[in-house]
Each structure stands twice: as C-alpha cells, then as structure tokens.
C-alpha cells in the first residue's frame, strides 16, 4: 500500500510508538472468527514490506481494519487508523480452550458493546509447485466442511511479493466456502529462483501451474482467479482461451499500457496530495524520459542530467528513479513494457471487474472502456465502481498516498458485492 521514503518513515514511527514488536505475534490467532451478531472478522499477516508483516484484523461486514498489537497476552488493541495506533479504538481479546488452543474472541469497536465469537476451523497445507526452473512455495487453505469445494487462486500485484501480501483476502474467500491457493512470487518468500523478478509470461505460466495443481486434487471442483492491480490483468491473460478457469475477479487491474498507467499514476497521486501544476509537470517530464530510456536504451545521459537537476525535489518519492541503464532496461522488460490493453480478449468465463473512484494508479475510465471492448460478446461481465475506494479499496477522500496512514476500513460494499457474485459458483 505504501512505498519509498514515506513508507519507511511511517513504519519507523509506528514501531517506535507501538507497545510491542509485531514480529513475535502468535500464528495460532490467524484465521476467521464468527461473531454472535453474524459478522465475520479475520486475523491475518499483511506484508507492508519484507521487514514489516504485522497482524491485522478485518471485519468483512463493516470493512474496518487495522494493525493489532499486544503486550504479550491474548489481549490486542488497534488504533484509529491503519498506521495510527493511538488513541485505541478497537479491542480484541482471544480465548483458549483447556488445551491452550485459540477457540474464541471478544470484539469491541469504538464505544459499541463487546461481541463474542468463535474461531472457524480450517485446514492449511504448505505446498510446493514445480514449474520448469521455478519452485512456487505456497499455502492451500481449505474449509473444514466435507466434500468438494470450489477453489480460487490469488494473483499478486506488482513487485516481489510473498503470500502474506494478500492480507485478509484469502480468509474472505475461505469464509465463503472456497479453497484458496496463495503462493510467493518467483524471487520472493520461499519461492525459487531467488532474487529474480518474473516476466509477465513467467507469471502467467506460474498461475497456470497453480491451476494444474488444483485440477489434480479430488477435493476441488470449479477453479477461479482473483487478481489485484497487476494480478487483475494477469487474471485475464491466464483465463484467455483457458477452459479450466471458471470465473475471474479483477480488482483494480488495468487494461492499458503500463507506461500509460505510470504517467497517470504520477499525475493522479501528486494531484491528490496537493502538489502544484509545476511540480506535477516536472515529475511527468522525468517519468516520460525514464520510460523512453527503458524502451529504447537511449538518452541515459539526459536522464542522469535530469536526475541531477531534480535531486532535491519533494516529489521524488512519487517516481521511479533507476540507478543504471541496465536497471531501467530490465524494469522496462518486466514492468513498464507491458501492454494490458487487450488482456481480457477471448475470456469466455464470467468476469467481475471492481474499481475505485479514487484510484490514483489505474486509469479507471480507459480500463473499463477496454474491458468492455474486449468482452463485448461475453454476457457474464459485471463491472462495479466504488466512488470512495482507492487503488487498494480502502475508503478515502482523495486517494492520495498521504491519507493512507489514517484510513481505517475497506469500502464495506466490496465484500458484499463479491459475496453476492460468488454464490453462483458454490
């Protein structure tokens, strides 16, 4: 959700203020809890960065979420914002049975009454999928009920991300009766080869390997895909002409070129965070030249001169600043050179496309237009736009990076819409 210098400063500040290190949290707490008022909350790890993976709670009815901390007991608290831990606004106490196993929870939000609940048991299996030179390390979550279950594979956004980057979403789909496959990207977590960014073709191949893995299991029925950001358009590429994909959920995934998307992102994020027109123009100038250098391999010296000229600008955290010509060319190949305009062409299965009205990363209008064009003959396309949602579907006012620490919930209708749409696949 956050990146660059601001992310590091915010995380550092949060850690200083926190009552206890978040790295020693009890793994036994992770999972879903059914409250007595029929709401479901999840406890999950969330990967803000490779060194910061705290526990977060999410209420799938209200959308409320936050980092939870403890003094070492089973009593946890959360603040008034995602990265604002004071004043305390949520209290979550866990209870254990006579064997010491976590069995229940009490949940209090704000000044409302405390609500009790029980932990929903599920099966969790660590898996490895071999795909050519790659070994994908992951987790398969399975509902505790008997019989076959529909399954869903979760596809990452951009970057070197492990399975914990999905936060609460695996547990939302688990709560809906789906088996959930999550895995570390190549070069991330426990997956191999190490320290290697996957190309788009490799990511597509890895997702298909995940489908083939699930097809061999006797406890799995229909298989679908959910992808966020980069994973959203990757889901379309995987589902194209693929009869094994039963449905797709695209959450914030673009359907434009990555270069077009990055220019849009710089403009939109900076505008949302109240930069001047002059500052935005400078950042866009730098971004366009960086993209040109990456695509052609030429004009590196001009980019170095521009980097020197703008070295003290406050907007540098909003742009990609390569350290070498080789680096910028490599990033063009793995990221900025991608054309997702027709990523949903030839997708025959049902598609749910979800977008935020405050998305400062994905050009929503252009993306929706291209998805509709791609799926003009697909009668099972549903598109939903949430006016107050940012790129991560957190509820906001501007969609800018500066408001992220204060956000306190997903737009609540996000989970409602997915729950309604998924009923047909159970």
Position 4 confidence tier, pLDDT thresholds 50, 70, 90: very low
Instruction: Please report the pLDDT score of residue 24 as a whole number.
Output: 40
**pLDDT tens for each residue of 335-391:** 899 999 999 999 999 999 999 999 999 999 999 999 999 999 999 999 999 999 999
Instruction: Please report the pLDDT score of residue 5 as a whole number.
Output: 42
Closest by CA position to 261, among listed 370, 142, 374: 370
Instruction: Please report the pLDDT score of residue 323 as a whole number.
Output: 93
Own/partner pairs, 95-103, CB within 8 angstroms, 24+ separation:
101/28, 102/26, 102/28, 102/29, 102/74
| Cα–Cα distance measured from residue 137 to residue 223, given in angstroms and rounded to the nearest whole number | 19
Residue length, the chain? 426
Average pLDDT for 203-218? 97
Instruction: Please report the pLDDT score of residue 426 as a whole number.
Output: 86
Do both 298 and 319 map to the same domain? yes
**pLDDT tens for each residue of 102-154:** 999 999 999 999 999 999 999 999 999 999 999 999 999 999 999 999 999 99
Is the pLDDT assigned to residue 21 strictly greater than 60?
no
Do both 376 and 237 map to the same domain? yes
**pLDDT tens for each residue of 302-328:** 999 999 999 999 999 999 999 999 999
Number of domains in the chain: 3
Do both 220 and 359 map to the same domain? yes
Q: How far is CA 130 from the centre of its chain?
A: 24
Percentage of the chain lying above the pLDDT 90 cut: 86
Is the pLDDT assigned to residue 216 strictly greater than 50?
yes
Do both 224 and 318 map to the same domain? no
Q: Which of 191 and 11 is assigned the larger pLDDT? A: 191
Range of the domain at 381: 122-256+340-425
Do both 312 and 323 map to the same domain? yes
Last residue of a domain, one of 336, 370, 401: 336
Do both 27 and 54 map to the same domain? yes
Average pLDDT for 289-297? 97
Do both 36 and 157 map to the same domain? no
Is the pLDDT assigned to residue 9 strictly greater than 60?
no
Position 10 confidence tier, pLDDT thresholds 50, 70, 90: low
**pLDDT tens for each residue of 223-277:** 999 999 999 999 999 999 899 999 999 999 999 999 999 999 999 999 999 999 9
Do both 246 and 370 map to the same domain? yes
Q: How far is CA 5 from the centre of its chain?
A: 20
Instruction: Please report the pLDDT score of residue 17 as a whole number.
Output: 44
Q: What is the DSSP string of 254-286?
A: --SBHHHHHHHHHHHHHHHTT--HHHHHHHHHH
DSSP SS3 for 153: strand
Last residue of a domain, one of 88, 120, 152: 120
Do both 321 and 350 map to the same domain? no
- Residue 35 has which token pair? 């409250």
State the chain's mean pLDDT as an integer. Answer: 93
Do both 108 and 159 map to the same domain? no
Instruction: Please report the pLDDT score of residue 113 as a whole number.
Output: 96
Tell me the torsion sign for CA atoms 267, 271, 277, 280: negative
**pLDDT tens for each residue of 23-73:** 444 789 999 999 999 999 999 999 988 889 999 999 999 999 999 999 788
Instruction: Please report the pLDDT score of residue 241 as a whole number.
Output: 87
């Amino acid at each position: 959700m956050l990146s660059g210098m601001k992310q590091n400063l915010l995380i550092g500040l949060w850690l200083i203020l926190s009552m206890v290190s978040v790295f020693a949290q009890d793994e036994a707490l992770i999972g879903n809890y059914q409250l007595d008022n029929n709401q479901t909350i999840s406890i999950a790890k969330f990967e803000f960065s490779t060194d910061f993976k705290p526990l977060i709670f999410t209420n799938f009815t209200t959308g409320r979420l936050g980092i939870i901390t403890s003094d070492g007991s089973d009593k946890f608290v959360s603040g008034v914002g995602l990265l604002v831990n004071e004043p305390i606004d949520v209290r979550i106490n866990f209870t254990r049975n006579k064997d010491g196993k976590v069995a229940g929870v009490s949940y209090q939000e704000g000044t409302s009454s405390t609500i009790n609940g029980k932990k929903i048991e599920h099966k969790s299996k660590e898996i490895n999928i071999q795909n050519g030179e790659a070994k994908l390390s992951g987790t398969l979550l399975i509902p505790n009920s008997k019989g076959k279950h529909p399954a869903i594979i979760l596809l990452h956004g951009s970057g070197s991300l492990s399975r914990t980057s999905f936060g609460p979403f695996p547990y939302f789909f688990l709560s809906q009766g789906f088996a959930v496959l999550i895995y570390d990207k190549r070069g991330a977590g426990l997956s191999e080869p190490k320290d290697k960014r996957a190309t788009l073709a490799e990511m597509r191949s890895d997702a298909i390997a995940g489908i083939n893995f699930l097809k061999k299991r006797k406890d799995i029925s229909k298989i679908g895909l959910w992808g966020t950001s980069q994973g959203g358009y990757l889901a379309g590429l995987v589902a194209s002409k693929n009869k094994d994909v039963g449905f797709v959920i695209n959450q914030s995934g673009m359907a434009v070129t990555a270069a077009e998307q990055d220019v849009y992102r710089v403009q939109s994020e900076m505008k949302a965070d109240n930069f001047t027109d002059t500052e935005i123009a400078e950042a866009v100038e730098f971004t366009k030249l960086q993209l040109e250098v990456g695509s052609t391999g030429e004009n590196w010296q001009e980019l170095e001169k521009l980097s020197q000229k703008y070295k003290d600008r406050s907007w540098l955290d909003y742009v990609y600043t390569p350290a070498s010509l080789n680096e910028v060319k490599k990033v063009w190949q793995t990221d900025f050179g991608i054309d997702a305009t027709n990523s949903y062409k030839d997708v025959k299965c049902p598609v749910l496309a979800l977008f935020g009205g405050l998305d400062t990363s994905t050009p929503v209008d252009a993306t929706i237009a291209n998805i509709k064009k791609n799926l003009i003959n697909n009668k099972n396309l549903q598109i939903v736009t949430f006016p107050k949602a940012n790129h991560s579907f957190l509820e906001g006012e501007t969609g800018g990076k500066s408001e992220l620490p204060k956000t306190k919930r997903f737009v609540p209708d996000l989970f409602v819409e997915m729950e309604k749409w998924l009923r047909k696949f159970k």
